[in-house]
Amino acid sequence: MTHKPLMYPAAVLAAAAAVALAVTAAAQERVRLEPGEFEYMATTTGVLVAAPHGTFDINTDALAIAVARKLGSGYIVFRGDTPAGARINANRPTEGAGRACANEDRTERARIVYETYVRLMHTASGGTSLAWYVELHGNADPRTANRIDVASKGISATDAAEIKRRYPAILEAVRRESPPFPALELWVEPADRILFTASCTKTLGVLSVDAFARALHFEFPRSARHPDLLNAAASLTAALLQGLPGRR
């Protein structure tokens, strides 16, 4: 399948272009804004792993970086400084957690953070097409305490079923290496009717733009994001992603 190059509105790219980069001696790059900081690394594999709520969704920043390192891919994370309840969503131009999409606040700082996120996604992709864009999130909803929800863009029910088919063997291997890792189920859209569908991001955020053909949006329960289990969670996620088509 041929994928289109990253394409974002010119106004978005121009508005964010004034943000200065602070480049570290390593390959990571950082951008500091008043509400928080971005960290990213360019990809050469066609896969970009993201944690837009890197601190609010506890430990997802570390998880995204660990997954990217295991894959040899790029990543982008946002670590927000705003207090609980005023989360900058980064992957869409709003703020507020646990609300219906229509009730999220559209603020100036949210717009700036989102436009910067869009620009850095473009930079981290090297200006070429992405085979897969992968977001990692966390939740504490009791309805999903025993499973991982995966929302998707651009995949069929057959594709989702194939991901699910591969999952038990991957989970078994991870739990052999790390027995405390929970025996979570995996629900993948559109094969399953999931709770966390990323509907707002699909409506007005990065999943609504013609930037990539396929995306996965993982929602990890708190039990999988314990600091002692992050390496196991990263191994699980990386193994799932390694089997996806289109990776370079």
Tens-place pLDDT, residues 132-165? 999 999 999 999 999 999 999 999 999 999 999 9
- State the pLDDT at residue 212: 80
**Which are the contacts of 18, defined by CB distance < 8 A and separation ≥ 6?**
none
- State the pLDDT at residue 28: 81
Q: Please say if the pLDDT value at position 174 is more than 80.
A: yes
What CA–CA distance (Å, rounded) separates 187 from 189?
A: 7
What CA–CA distance (Å, rounded) separates 175 from 182?
A: 8
Q: How far is CA 168 from CA 104, 164, 165, in A?
A: 37, 8, 7
Q: Is 88 exposed, middle or buried (0-12, 13-18, 19+ CB in 10 A)?
A: buried
- State the pLDDT at residue 209: 82
pLDDT digits (tens, 9 = 90+) for 31-54: 999 899 999 999 988 999 999 999
Q: Are strands 74-80 and 47-51 parallel, antiparallel or unpaired?
A: parallel
pLDDT digits (tens, 9 = 90+) for 176-231: 999 999 999 999 999 999 999 999 999 999 999 877 889 999 999 999 999 999 99
Residue 223 near residue 59, CB atoms below 8 Å: no
Residue 41 near residue 124, CB atoms below 8 Å: yes
- State the pLDDT at residue 32: 93
Picking from 30-34, 52-56, 85-89, which range would have the lowest pLDDT averaged per residue? 85-89
Assess if CATH 3.40.630 describes domain 10-242: yes
Average pLDDT, the chain: 87
Q: Please say if the pLDDT value at position 24 is more than 90.
A: no
